[in-house]
Structure 1
Amino acid sequence: MSQSRYTFWVLILAVGIAGVSQGLTIPMLTVLLEKQGVSSVMNGLNAAALYIGMVMVNPFLEIPLRRIGYRSTILWGLLLVTIATALIPMFSHLAVWFVLRLLMGVGDSGLHYASQMWVTKIAAPENRGRDLSIYGLAYGVGFSIGPLGLSVLHLGIWVPFGGLLVLYLIAFLLLSRIKNEFPAQIEQTEKKQNKYAFVLRLAWLALIPSFLYGFMETSLNGSFPVYALRTGLSVEWVSLILPSFVVGSIILQMPLGALSDRVGRKQVMLVCALVGGLAFFLFPFAGENVWLMMLLLAIAGAAVGSFYSLGLAFSADILPASMVPTAGIIAGVNFGVASILAPNVNGLLMDVWEPWTIFWLMGSLLIVFAAACLFFKQKATQEQTYSMPLQKQG
């Protein structure tokens, strides 16, 4: 196995572990706070702390990435997540959990951003969609496993969180054995302009999926447990229903990535947005039929569960390689902003209107994105005003 492929598979394992962490902590803390009698609005605000941390640090992640490299940025992020995870079971106060989730968001953001950019860098252009879909698949598998930790909560809060700490240790050991690398440096030509404006002008459509995925993921994992408990579903059913979205995305993650390599990212995302939007619109009609809920969430997950990786691959197709880390920053901010908005908007909807409106909101957002795909025209690559020199190694 070549060094780059070994690095790729270590990154895949690391992001899978990160998926387990988020898939467990988000619904578990939501359920614990709901049982404490915390309002859905305050519960949503506490869940948003993870993403507030992401938004706070995301604009600055490109600096350490370019200075200390991919591996070092991942390790620092993993260290912060480990510290926060170890401290969560020691406290039960709302304010303390807010701070720890904030810290976890900072660490998660660094880990995901650096690993995504590293995978994008080492992936061959003709297989970029496939490799990024494997990355998304690993995260999805981990995220689907995470909520199962709710079923062992009765054994004590240290049981699921102790398991996470063991997984973090494995990730530390594997990451410490791979060679550090650095992204391509930026060179501005005579026509200087703001790099963020440049990326947004060329790749605005490719950056929307990160917002949509963040909104959907947090709506389901942060707001659905509250929706379920208020409609009479047990915590045990929540632990089974929630993973169905991710399981659906796992089924089509790689096929959609490979298909996008052949027919184009935009075409694939357009069809997937329509299918996912329809599934969310139909969800309220499932009533109390748990199996129909699982089916509709699985269909939605199969359609749009790979949106983040497809959007990132699309931006790498459109932009110069040296600008992809900047696109990753914007995508991360979009994900974080959406994840902050989702639990708060959904909490407000559930308090002042009907709980099922959160699904119609997600469906509407996907339909609007599908319409945007019809109007997007990719600009010629000659417009690129940044060039990519030789890659720096270290």
Structure 2
Amino acid sequence: MSTGNSANAFVISRYRFATLLLVVVVAGMSQGLLLPLLSILLERSGISSDVNGLNSTALYIGVFCTMFIIEKPVVRYGYKKVIIAGISLIAVSVLLFPVSQSLGLWFALRLLVGIGDSALHYATQLWIVTTSPSERRGRYISLYGMAYGTGFSIGPLGINLLPFGDAVPFLATGFFFLVVLILVLRLPNVLPERAKRGESAENRFINAYRIAWFGLIPAMLYGLMEASMNSSFPLYGLRIELGKEWISLLLLSFGIGGLILQLPLGIWSDRIGRKPVLIACGVTGAFVFAAIPLAEDRVEWLVVLFALAGGLVGSFYSLGLAYAADLLPRTIMPAANVIASIHFSIGSIAGPIIGGYGIRYVSPHSIFWILSGAFLLFAMSGVVVFRFQSRRTST
């Protein structure tokens, strides 16, 4: 009887994990498509790059605001119900984009997409991280990152549906959300572990920062990189006279690079530790971003550099979250997930604004200089702080 129960639990666990990965694929596909698609449609309408970038921030403002309240609904109603709410909100909002190209309406819809995206990702991340065995956490969270990267890489290809009508990419995205919604409805609902009585939310957030700050910063860098590449890079590409097909191909190569290295980096981090892997990827990723402006008239080199950059920093969010999970008690992980999502939102809001203004007032290349400096600063801070800590420990 116990053998049958354990076998049944194993099947349910596998189905749940596979379903959550599919949800993340579709969510990544939606985000990977919406950012460049809406930027291109607004650019075509004559909207300036700085206003375009400001409008793009609405999605991440929605993500940011939701993070301050999302923990309570997940604890109270469970993972499944929050994921269903997130899927439904994104799908309805996406289907309303073709109704009008009003900047105000699109800002509001992007805000709603951000709220749904925030709910969906928070619940799926926490569900996967808290149910992963510690010795295989790097692999599990890498598969999560690969799922998101797969969708994010496929998403920009939806730009090529525009010749069939401006509404077609949005309708296709809505259909995929309907499919995963049906799969999620079959999952049993689960509630996360509650914090101990007397342990205030403030203490949990302070402890998460104190113990796992280095694992929480990568979320901000990932948000900055992702939003800059998908909101500002299409504008950069149009400025240097790249065609829409090349823009979508370069974004695809960026995502494919992340897919290729996501699992190997996760396995490597299980073996040698996540901190050295994060530092190494930060340093090398910084140099690759700095090299991109040097190859702007050589598309074949751009493809190689984009794939390298995506491979090196495309797993930053998932590796950082896995590192935080290594360091923190399970009851503090919901608070750590909130912090990581807030950091992601801050980076994502800053990315389009900095990118849009940089392209207009400084240089089309400024987005790559900013990304290079941010990743190099992160890696160097890790080296300096941990050397200082090791010296204090030895004395």
Is TM-score (shorter-chain normalized) higher than 0.5?
Answer: yes
Q: 2:53, 2:231 within 8 Å by CA — same for their partners in 1?
A: yes
Q: 1:213, 1:335 within 8 Å by CA — same for their partners in 2?
A: yes
1:275 paired to 2:315: no
Post-superposition Cα deviations, 1:229-254, rounded to whole Å, max 9, x if no partner, equal 11111112111111111110000000
Match of 1:58 in 2: 67
Report the more deviating stretch, 311-320 or 184-193. 184-193
Q: 1:4, 1:122 within 8 Å by CA — same for their partners in 2?
A: no
SS for the counterpart of 1:355 is coil
Post-superposition Cα deviations, 1:105-131, rounded to whole Å, max 9, x if no partner, equal 000000000000000011111100100
Match of 1:36 in 2: 45
Report the more deviating stretch, 195-204 or 207-216. 195-204
Instruction: Choose from 123, 129, 132 the match for 1:120.
Output: 129
Instruction: Choose from 92, 106, 110 the match for 1:97.
Output: 106
Match of 2:344 in 1: 335
Q: 2:216, 2:321 within 8 Å by CA — same for their partners in 1?
A: yes
1:316 paired to 2:325: yes
Q: Distance in 2 between matches of 1:287 and 1:54?
A: 33
Question: Shift of the alpha carbon at 1:182?
Answer: 1.0
Q: Which amino acid aligns with 2:220?
A: F
Match of 2:185 in 1: 176
Match of 1:235 in 2: 244
SS for the counterpart of 1:26 is helix
**1:313-392 pair list within 5 angstroms:** 313-377=322-386
Instruction: Choose from 229, 246, 258 the match for 1:220.
Output: 229
Structure 2: tracts of 5 or more residues without a match: 1-9, 390-395
Match of 1:290 in 2: 299
- 193 and 112 in structure 1: CA distance in 2 versus 1, 3 angstrom threshold: closer
Q: Distance in 2 between matches of 1:6 and 1:32?
A: 38
Q: Displaced runs of 4+ in structure 1, greater than 3 A?
A: 188-193, 375-379
Q: 1:51, 1:336 within 8 Å by CA — same for their partners in 2?
A: yes
Q: Distance in 1 between matches of 2:250 and 2:372?
A: 19
1:84 paired to 2:93: yes
1:207 paired to 2:227: no
Instruction: Choose from 200, 203, 206 the match for 1:194.
Output: 203
1:261 paired to 2:275: no
Q: 1:212, 1:366 within 8 Å by CA — same for their partners in 2?
A: yes
Question: Shift of the alpha carbon at 1:195?
Answer: 1.6
Question: Shift of the alpha carbon at 1:194?
Answer: 2.1
Structure 1: tracts of 5 or more residues without a match: 380-394
Match of 1:385 in 2: none
Post-superposition Cα deviations, 1:264-296, rounded to whole Å, max 9, x if no partner, equal 000111111111101001111003111111111
Match of 2:253 in 1: 244
Q: Distance in 2 between matches of 1:281 and 1:318?
A: 32
Question: Shift of the alpha carbon at 1:26?
Answer: 0.8
Q: 1:284, 1:359 within 8 Å by CA — same for their partners in 2?
A: yes
**1:135-154 pair list within 5 angstroms:** 135-154=144-163
SS for the counterpart of 1:20 is helix
SS for the counterpart of 1:187 is coil
- 72 and 376 in structure 1: CA distance in 2 versus 1, 3 angstrom threshold: farther
Q: Distance in 2 between matches of 1:182 and 1:232?
A: 51
SS for the counterpart of 2:188 is coil
Question: Shift of the alpha carbon at 1:40?
Answer: 0.8
SS for the counterpart of 1:182 is coil
Q: Distance in 2 between matches of 1:310 and 1:359?
A: 22
SS for the counterpart of 2:78 is helix
Q: 1:130, 1:258 within 8 Å by CA — same for their partners in 2?
A: yes
Q: Which amino acid aligns with 1:259?
A: W
Q: Distance in 2 between matches of 1:376 and 1:211?
A: 19
Q: 1:205, 1:372 within 8 Å by CA — same for their partners in 2?
A: no
Match of 2:7 in 1: none
Number of residue-to-residue matches in the alignment: 380
Q: Which amino acid aligns with 1:282?
A: A
Identity of matched residues, %: 44
Q: Distance in 1 between matches of 2:220 and 2:47?
A: 27
Q: Distance in 2 between matches of 1:110 and 1:27?
A: 22
Q: Distance in 1 between matches of 2:280 and 2:358?
A: 28
Post-superposition Cα deviations, 1:149-199, rounded to whole Å, max 9, x if no partner, equal 111101102221111111111111110101111111101568996221111
With structure 1 as the length reference, what TM-score do the two structures score? 0.94
Post-superposition Cα deviations, 1:34-69, rounded to whole Å, max 9, x if no partner, equal 111101111001111100100111111101010001
Q: 2:92, 2:174 within 8 Å by CA — same for their partners in 1?
A: no
Q: Distance in 1 between matches of 2:385 and 2:338?
A: 21
